[in-house]
């Protein structure tokens, strides 16, 4: 049965959420329980570089009368002249998970994050001799996509820091991009990734564009308009303008760019579990129903699980 909310009772929509299948803290079952108690109506599961959680999320969403939008957060990089390559996270909604080019890109990203994490551990061992790659693997869910939060979790486990957030936010954090131990992710060009997502029937949306926390990869200082135009030419459909880590002045620039090019704008929490990112609770930022409708129209690669009518 499709639920329709009464007038003035808008749906709460959060389209960027992680589980333990990547670097979040909650298993999919724990996550769904938390989503229900946070009062969300519609959610997307967007684990880094994988779709494994989709089936269980769809099944549990149905049981809990939630609407579920299958998603992925793909690791890519921006390459613009005069700047070192910088990390770009690309959200993809409703792509066909069996598309060969998409599958190959995701598998390569997971593999390269595994190799990167191993290299990172080798460097960190200079300062933390007790840290081992085996420990990192043991604490992460088997076969999950590895990220820096997994390194942080291992350092907390060893008693070196009090919390994952402390590891990221410590002065001279050992895992920040300025750390001598830092190893960057190797990833495909965002322009190629956008084309692959579109070919797989998905809706590509740039995640937390130009987020400028001390922990993020080497982001451009000013708004790289040409780069955004190239992404639009490649088939970009939306920008996640409303995210805790996107500075307010950048948000304004992005909103005006989105209006100029007719792009979708979204808002999301980027929840990873409160033990990992306490400042990003579920539903912290939300997406409007109008924008969700456009995503549902344009995303043709797989079916959402809808418990509401839109
Ligand atoms: P990576 O892509 O492996 O370099 O790591 C980026 C991941 O670290 C993203 O999923 C972020 O959400 C996460 N992250 C960034 N800053 C923090 C923080 N202060 N606390 C916890 N996780 C963070
Ligand atoms: Zn993450
Ligand atoms: Fe991200
Ligand atoms: Fe994320």
Average pLDDT over residues 42-65: 98
Residue 1 located in a structural domain: no
**In this structure, which residues have their CB less than 5 angstroms from ion ligand 4?**
73, 270
Residue 131 located in a structural domain: yes
The per-residue pLDDT for range 26-44, each reduced to its tens digit, is 999 999 999 999 999 999 9
pLDDT higher than 60, residue 7:
no
Indicate which CATH number applies to the domain containing 31: 3.20.20.140
In the reported structure, the alpha carbon of residue 208 is separated from the centroid of ligand 4 by a whole-number distance in angstroms of: 8
The rounded mean pLDDT for the chain is: 94
Residue 308 located in a structural domain: no
Decide the pairing of beta strands 238-242 and 86-93: unpaired
Which ligand 1 atom is the nearest neighbour of the CA of 270?
A: 12
Tokens, residue 226: 């040409």
The per-residue pLDDT for range 298-309, each reduced to its tens digit, is 999 999 999 999
Residue 41 located in a structural domain: yes
- Calpha distance 174→186 (Å, rounded): 19
User: Percent of the chain scored above 90 by pLDDT?
Assistant: 87
Q: Of all protein residues, whose CA lies closest to atom 17 belonging to ligand 1?
A: 168
In the reported structure, the alpha carbon of residue 213 is separated from the centroid of ligand 1 by a whole-number distance in angstroms of: 10
Average pLDDT over residues 46-55: 97
Q: What pLDDT, on the 0 to 100 scale, is given for residue 102? A: 98
Counted domains in the chain: 1
Tokens, residue 32: 């769904």
**Residue 30 Cβ < 6 Å to ligand 1:** no
User: Would you say 128 and 167 are in contact if contact means Cβ atoms under 8 Å apart?
Assistant: no
Q: What pLDDT, on the 0 to 100 scale, is given for residue 83? A: 84
Give residue 159's domain range.
Answer: 8-298
- Calpha distance 66→308 (Å, rounded): 8
Residue 57 located in a structural domain: yes
Which ligand 1 atom is the nearest neighbour of the CA of 272?
A: 12
pLDDT higher than 50, residue 295:
yes
Q: What pLDDT, on the 0 to 100 scale, is given for residue 17? A: 98
Residues sharing a CB contact under 8 Å with residue 57, sequence separation 6 or more, in sequence order: 19, 28, 31, 32, 45, 68, 70, 305
Residue 222 located in a structural domain: yes
In the reported structure, the alpha carbon of residue 1 is separated from the centroid of ligand 3 by a whole-number distance in angstroms of: 34
User: Would you say 69 and 58 are in contact if contact means Cβ atoms under 8 Å apart?
Assistant: no
The per-residue pLDDT for range 97-123, each reduced to its tens digit, is 999 999 999 999 999 999 999 999 999
Q: What pLDDT, on the 0 to 100 scale, is given for residue 6? A: 47
Q: Of all protein residues, whose CA lies closest to atom 14 belonging to ligand 1?
A: 149
In the reported structure, the alpha carbon of residue 131 is separated from the centroid of ligand 2 by a whole-number distance in angstroms of: 21
Tokens, residue 216: 């993020």
**Residue 147 Cβ < 6 Å to ligand 1:** yes
The per-residue pLDDT for range 174-233, each reduced to its tens digit, is 999 889 999 999 999 999 999 999 999 999 999 999 886 545 666 777 789 999 999 999
- B/e letters for 140-174, b = 16+ CB within 10 Å, e = fewer, are bbeebbbbbbbbbbbbbeeebbeebbebbebeebb
**Residue 149 Cβ < 6 Å to ligand 1:** yes
Residue 304 located in a structural domain: no
Residue 27 located in a structural domain: yes
The per-residue pLDDT for range 263-281, each reduced to its tens digit, is 999 999 999 999 999 999 9
């Amino acid at each position: 049965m499709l639920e329709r909310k009464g007038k003035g009772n808008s749906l709460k929509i959060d389209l960027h959420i992680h589980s333990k299948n990547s670097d979040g803290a909650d298993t999919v079952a724990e996550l769904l329980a938390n989503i229900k108690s946070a009062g969300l109506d519609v959610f997307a599961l967007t684990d880094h570089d994988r779709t494994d959680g989709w089936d269980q999320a769809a099944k549990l969403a149905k049981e809990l009368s939630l609407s579920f939008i299958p998603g992925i957060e793909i690791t890519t990089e921006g390459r613009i002249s005069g700047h070192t390559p910088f990390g770009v996270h690309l959200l993809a909604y409703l792509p066909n998970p069996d598309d060969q080019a998409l599958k190959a890109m995701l598998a390569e990203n997971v593999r390269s994050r595994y190799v990167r994490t191993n290299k990172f551990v080798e460097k960190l061992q200079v300062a933390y001799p007790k840290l081992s790659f085996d420990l990192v693997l043991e604490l992460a869910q088997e076969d999950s996509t590895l990220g820096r939060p997994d390194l942080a979790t291992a350092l907390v486990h060893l008693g070196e820091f009090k919390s994952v957030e402390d590891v990221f936010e410590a002065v001279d954090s050992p895992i920040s991009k300025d750390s001598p131990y830092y190893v960057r992710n190797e990833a495909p060009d965002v322009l190629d990734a956008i084309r692959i997502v579109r070919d797989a029937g998905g809706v590509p949306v740039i995640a937390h564009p130009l987020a400028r926390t001390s922990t993020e990869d080497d982001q451009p200082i000013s708004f790289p308009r040409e780069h955004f135009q190239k992404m639009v030419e490649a088939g970009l459909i939306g920008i996640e303008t409303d995210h805790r880590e996107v500075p307010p002045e950048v948000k304004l620039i992005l909103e005006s760019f989105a209006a100029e090019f007719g792009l979708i704008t979204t808002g999301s929490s980027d929840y990873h579990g409160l033990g990992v990112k306490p400042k990003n609770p579920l539903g912290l930022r939300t997406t409007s129903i109008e924008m969700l409708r456009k995503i549902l129209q344009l995303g043709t690669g797989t079916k959402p699980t809808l418990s509401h009518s839109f």
